[in-house]
Amino acid sequence: GENVEQHPSTLSVQEGDSAVIKCTYSDSASNYFPWYKQELGKGPQLIIDIRSNVGEKKDQRIAVTLNKTAKHFSLHITETQPEDSAVYFCAAFANAGGTSYGKLTFGQGTILTVHP
């Protein structure tokens, strides 16, 4: 099955700096890669996603890059703000054996702390 590794496990930055979180995946059939933000006591919330036919996607201060050959993808947050502090999860979606459905496999999470 799919295995997703995420690094670093914790990341501390000063407000205004950039933050980068990296993930690798094992299943070359994975074709959709969402990133979720989880705040304390809440469920994960989608912040950005990328599909396997695209190399990069940007949404304001957040960008995601995908390298299918190397099987890794990264989240970039620029001009970080204290409210960006949360746990961030990457995930990979793979279809189940020729079907149109599949499941997400999550990384272990990165605790991001942005200091004012």
Binding site for other proteins (CB under 8 A): 4, 6, 31-32, 34, 36, 41-46, 49, 51, 89, 91, 93, 95-96, 99-109
When the beta carbons of 19 and 23 are compared against other proteins, the nearer one is 23
CB of 107 to other proteins, least distance (A): 6
CB of 14 to other proteins, least distance (A): 25
When the beta carbons of 83 and 101 are compared against other proteins, the nearer one is 101
Q: Are strands 32-38 and 86-95 parallel, antiparallel or unpaired?
A: antiparallel
CB of 74 to other proteins, least distance (A): 17
Task: Compute the chain's Rg from CA coordinates.
Answer: 14
Query: Torsions phi, psi of 34, nearest 5?
Result: -95, 155
DSSP letter (8 states) at residue 71: T
* The two structure tokens encoding residue 114: 């942005």
When the beta carbons of 42 and 116 are compared against other proteins, the nearer one is 42
When the beta carbons of 14 and 42 are compared against other proteins, the nearer one is 42
Q: What are the b/e assignments for 13-25, b being 16+ CB within 10 Å? A: beeeeebbbbbbb
